[in-house]
Structure 1
Amino acid sequence: MADKIRTLGPGSLVIGADADAYKLDVDCTSVELAPDNSSEDPDNFLDGHEEGGALTTSWKLSGSIGEDYSMTGAQVYCLDHAGELKHAKFIPNTKGSLQLDLDVTIAPIAFGGDVKTRNKKDFEFAATNVKASAYTTAAEGA
């Protein structure tokens, strides 16, 4: 039986692909890809049958970044690409075997905070087409 990898990081979070790729992982202090599962109540009909009650799942990619006040920082990237749909690859731990591929809608991240402090800012992107696959070291460069 393979050893279980239970620690988040060191890992990878890359938004976009090829020349458009942005390594968000270098700024992240926390990352979570979370489902929001909801189901509607079924409708009951006079003849005794039910309809509806389907499960609906939506996803969000969220976390926190350490602020970077440069023009190449995560906040400027997200501001410049706000509203765009981009492919993303999330590898929770490079010693594990899990890779999550998804599409995210980029949303802006706040700027500023307490003076003379290394501020952290939260981010949240809507995610779709979430798929898990086996991660190998060769896949990281792909």
Structure 2
Amino acid sequence: MSVKSHRLGPGSLKFGETGSEVEFAMGCRKVTIEPDVEEGDSIPVLSGDEISEGDEETWKLTGEILQSYDLNGFILWCHKNAGATVPFIFRPDNDKAFAVVGDVKVRRVSIGGDVKARNTSEFEFKGEGEYDLVDPAQQTPLVFASGAAPAPPVVDATEWD
């Protein structure tokens, strides 16, 4: 199998409900979906076995965007929507049938920086619920290309309810 790697962009980053989305790709220098898994603690039991409390998965949408002080810019949008949970769609490459959709909690971003410089603001929006990988044209979940179903989860007989 040959190695495949794609460049990020040209793509899209939209926030809001379908039909009233706001596009911010034009100023984005970096966009990332960052999952994080916190492994649950193991609890030893008298028999010598251990049971797991289970893992907790969280994620966030992060990035860096050129600052714009326009009334339709990202800074003002973040300020007006701070604390709101909004849907988003992130397309790393508009030529590929691949997008990330989900909901994030909006936070305010930095304003300003070096004088006479093109300053940027970094953003970090906490994911709400789970995100999904979809075909952006049909909004249907993606299926791994081999067609093989994912392996069933391993059931740990030592876990008690």
Q: TM-score, normalised by structure 1?
A: 0.87
Q: Is the contact made by 1:86 and 1:103 (CA closer than 8 Å) also made in structure 2?
A: yes
Q: Shift in Å at residue 4 of structure 1?
A: 4.7
Calculate percent identity across the aligned residue pairs. 30
CA RMSD of the aligned region, Å? 2.0
Gaps of 5+ in 1: none
The reply on whether 1:132 has 2:140 as its aligned counterpart is no
Gaps of 5+ in 2: 140-161
Q: Shift in Å at residue 82 of structure 1?
A: 0.2
Larger fraction in helix: 1
Distance 1:33 1:72, change over 3 A: same
The number of residue pairs the alignment matches comes to: 137
Higher Cα Rg: structure 1 or 2?
2
Larger fraction in strand: 1
**Equivalent position amino acid for 1:96 in 2:** K
- What is the rounded CA distance, in whole Å, between the counterparts of 1:29 and 1:41 in structure 2? 38
- What is the rounded CA distance, in whole Å, between the counterparts of 1:18 and 1:134 in structure 2? 15
- What is the rounded CA distance, in whole Å, between the counterparts of 2:87 and 2:44 in structure 1? 41
Superposed CA offset, 1:18-57 (max 9, x none): 4542112122111000101110221001133322241211
Q: TM-score, normalised by structure 2?
A: 0.78
